[in-house]
């Protein structure tokens, strides 16, 4: 089968690899669409330490089941499926309590670390265990289904945040996940949704997708601008979707006393926080990790048109062009958000 292999850091090679084998509880998926994730782009130069070559990356995928293992009961050849990006153990202490995303030893498809290596979906075929599969609704395309993972990440962040109808919310970072959080906040009944970013094009897109206000962080006095839009108090909740010191500070500064600040971005391993502001204003800092079963909801919202994934789709190209598009994403080409490869 054709596969786009990261042979060494910053070096791709389109190779002919043997089709992956499947265990009794696994299925073989003929990949139809697979998104290039920001973590793949950061991973390819070795800086994250989570894409040790050689590796076939790719964890945001959809396809058609081509083979089923002997223990697979609920899935058949020909089923249209997408799958969780993480493979979690079912007998783990956290999994037994429903916290699949926190389970020990979870592995990510298309990721290699010193502890594990799992070949991903930048290839014609990928094998995955049956317990992470989700059926794609008939009216959802493979490309839309390949974008379900970031939608589910956004829904998970909302699920951890106390939101009431008519609340005000700030979203710091109008990249892909931020844009999905904005759409989800609108569905959750927030009536004031303030997007903050440095890029005016992304802010314009945020407003198209449901943000009621947009603030360019370069305009200064961001917290004061948010207060002016929220009865002088600050927002009821905020989401940080970048993962850097200044943006975390903004997310904290923009909320009212007693608010929850949900942290999704994690580019920087450590940042400074204004401790006294957090304590004396009784803020709750809530981390949000990956996804915990929000795939079904994400697929349903895409199917019903309530979440627009096409808005963030920049290009849909053959797998053969993958290496070029990685370069363009790595160079942060303006206007590029999501690129989907079609093996
Ligand atoms: Zn991803």
What sign results for the dihedral spanned by CA atoms 259, 211, 176, 136? Answer: positive
Cα gap 43→47, rounded to integer Å: 6
Residue 154 lies in a domain: no
Q: pLDDT per residue over 170-204, tens digit each?
A: 999 999 999 999 999 999 999 999 999 999 999 99
User: 297: which 2 tokens?
Assistant: 């909801």
Q: Are residues 97 and 230 in the same domain?
A: no
What mean pLDDT comes out for the span 73-92? Answer: 96
> In this structure, are 214 and 299 located in the same domain?
no
Q: Does residue 304 fall inside a structural domain?
A: yes
CA atoms of 293 and 92, how far apart (whole Å): 16
- Cα 174 to Cα 42: distance, rounded to the nearest angstrom: 18
Q: Are residues 301 and 283 in the same domain?
A: no
Rg over CA atoms, the chain: 20
Please determine, for residue 269, whether its predicted confidence score (pLDDT) is greater than 90.
no
CA of 229 to the centre of ligand 1 (A): 33
Domain hosting residue 58, numbered range: 2-149+291-342
Which pLDDT does position 48 carry in this prediction? 85
> Separation of 144 CA from ligand 1 center, angstroms?
14
Which of 287, 302, 333 finishes a domain? 287
Q: Please name the residue that has the structure tokens 């303030």.
A: 194
Helix (H, G, I), strand (E, B) or coil at 51: strand
Report the CATH number at residue 295. 3.90.180.10
Q: Measure 167 CA to ligand 1 centroid, in angstroms.
A: 29
Examine residue 113 and state whether it is found in any structural domain, yes or no.
yes
Q: What is the pLDDT of residue 20?
A: 97
Q: Are strands 11-16 and 313-318 parallel, antiparallel or unpaired?
A: unpaired
Beta-bridge partner residues of 91: none
Are 66 and 29 in contact by the 8 Å Cβ rule? The answer is: yes
Specify the number of domains making up the chain: 2
Question: Final residue of a domain: which of 243, 268, 287?
Answer: 287
- Residue 219 CA to ligand 1 center (angstroms) comes to 31
Same domain, yes or no, for 214 and 307? no
77, pLDDT greater than 90: yes
Task: Output the pLDDT for position 35.
Answer: 97
| Residues of the chain above pLDDT 90, percent | 96
CATH number at residue 246: 3.40.50.720
Which is nearest to 55 in space by CA: 121, 129, 104?
121
Distance (Å) from CA 150 to ligand 1 centroid: 7
Same domain, 304 and 279: no
What is the distance in A from the centroid of ligand 1 to the CA of 109?
10
- Residues 22, 139, single domain; the answer is yes
In angstroms, what is the span from residue 290 Cα to ligand 1's centroid? 9
Q: In the structure encoding, which two tokens stand for residue 127, read together? A: 């094998």
Report the distance separating Cα 7 and Cα 10, nearest Å. 8
Separation of CA 295 and ligand 1 centre (Å): 13
In a domain, 166, yes or no: yes
Taking the centre of ligand 1 as the mean of its atom positions, its distance from the CA of residue 147, in whole angstroms, is 9
- Report the separation in Å between the CA atom of 308 and the middle of ligand 1, taken as the mean of its atom positions: 18
- Cα of 188 vs centre of ligand 1, distance in Å, is 24
Q: How far is the CA of 148 from the centre of ligand 1 (A)?
A: 10
Residue 110: which of 88, 131, 128, 136 has the closest Cα? 128
**How does pLDDT run across 230-265, given as a tens digit for each residue?**
999 999 999 999 999 999 999 999 999 999 999 999
Note whether 267 and 301 are same-domain residues.
no
Q: Is residue 156 part of a domain?
A: no
For 100-144, the pLDDT digits (tens) are 999 999 999 999 999 999 999 999 999 999 999 999 999 999 999
Query: Cα(7) to centroid of ligand 1, in Å?
Result: 20
Q: How many angstroms is it from 337 CA to the middle of ligand 1?
A: 13
Instruction: Give the pLDDT confidence score for residue 341 in this predicted structure.
Output: 98
Residues linked to residue 339 through DSSP beta bridges, in sequence order: 315
Mean pLDDT over all residues of the chain?
A: 96
Asked if residue 260 is part of any domain, the answer here is yes
- Is 155 within the bounds of a domain? no
Spatial CA neighbour of 253 closest among 244, 262, 261: 261
Expressed in angstroms and rounded, the spacing between residue 85 Cα and the centre of ligand 1 is 7
Residue 40: inside a domain: yes
Cα(220)–Cα(39) distance, integer angstroms: 30
Strand boundaries in the chain, DSSP class E = 2-8, 11-16, 26-35, 60-68, 80-83, 86-87, 107-108, 111-112, 117-118, 125-129, 133-135, 168-172, 192-197, 213-216, 235-240, 255-263, 284-287, 313-318, 338-342
Do 94 and 206 belong to one domain?
no
Instruction: Tell me the torsion sign for CA atoms 250, 337, 200, 184.
Output: negative
303 vs 316: CA distance, rounded Å: 20
Is 104 buried (19+), middle (13-18) or exposed (0-12) by CB count in 10 A? exposed
Distance 237 CA to ligand 1 centre (A): 24
Distance (Å) from CA 82 to ligand 1 centroid: 13
Q: Do residues 243 and 312 share a domain?
A: no
For the chain, percent of residues with pLDDT exceeding 70: 100
C-alpha of residue 37 to centroid of ligand 1, in Å: 4
What's the 60 CA to ligand 1 centre distance in angstroms? 6
3-state secondary structure of 227: helix
32 and 105 belong to one structural domain: yes
Tokens of 209: 């997708």
Cβ-in-10-Å burial (0-12, 13-18, 19+) of 275 comes to exposed
How many A from CA of 315 to the centre of ligand 1?
17
Are residue 11 and residue 143 in the same domain, yes or no? yes
For residue 335, the model assigns a pLDDT of 87
- Cα torsion through 173, 175, 176, 182, rounded to 10: 40
Q: What is the pLDDT of residue 267?
A: 85
Shared domain for 134 and 78, answered yes or no, is yes
Q: How far is the CA of 275 from the centre of ligand 1 (A)?
A: 31
């Amino acid at each position: 089968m054709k596969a786009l292999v990261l042979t060494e850091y910053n070096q791709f090679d389109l190779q002919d690899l043997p089709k992956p084998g499947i265990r009794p509880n696994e299925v073989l998926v003929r990949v139809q669409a697979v998104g290039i994730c920001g973590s793949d782009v950061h991973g390819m130069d070795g800086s994250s330490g989570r894409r040790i070559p050689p590796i076939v990356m790719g964890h945001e995928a959809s396809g058609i089941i081509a083979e089923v293992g002997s223990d697979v009961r609920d899935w058949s050849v020909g089923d249209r499926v997408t799958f969780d990006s993480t493979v979690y153990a079912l007998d783990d202490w956290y999994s037994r309590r429903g916290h699949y995303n926190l389970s020990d030893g979870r592995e990510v498809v298309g990721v290699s670390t010193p502890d594990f290596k799992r070949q991903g979906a930048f290839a014609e075929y990928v094998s995955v265990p049956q317990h992470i599969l989700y059926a794609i609704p008939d009216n959802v395309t493979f490309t839309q289904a390949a974008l379900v993972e970031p939608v589910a990440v956004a829904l998970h962040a909302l699920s951890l945040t106390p939101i009431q109808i008519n609340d005000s919310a700030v979203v710091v970072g109008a990249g892909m996940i931020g844009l999905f959080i904005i759409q989800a906040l609108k569905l959750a009944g927030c009536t004031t949704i303030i997007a903050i970013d440095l890029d005016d094009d992304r802010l314009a897109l945020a407003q198209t997708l449901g943000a009621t206000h947009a603030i360019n962080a370069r305009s200064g006095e961001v917290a004061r601008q948010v207060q002016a839009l929220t009865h002088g108090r600050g927002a009821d909740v905020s989401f940080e979707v970048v993962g850097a010191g200044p943006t975390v500070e903004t997310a904290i500064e923009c909320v009212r006393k007693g608010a929850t600040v949900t942290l999704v971005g994690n580019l920087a391993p450590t940042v400074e926080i204004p401790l006294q502001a957090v304590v004396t204003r009784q803020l709750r800092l809530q981390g949000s990790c990956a996804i915990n079963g929000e795939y079904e909801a994400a697929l349903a919202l895409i199917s019903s048109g309530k979440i627009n994934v096409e808005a963030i789709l920049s290009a849909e190209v053959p797998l053969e062009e993958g290496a070029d598009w990685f370069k363009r994403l790595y160079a942060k080409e303006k206007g590029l958000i999501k690129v989907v490869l079609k093996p």
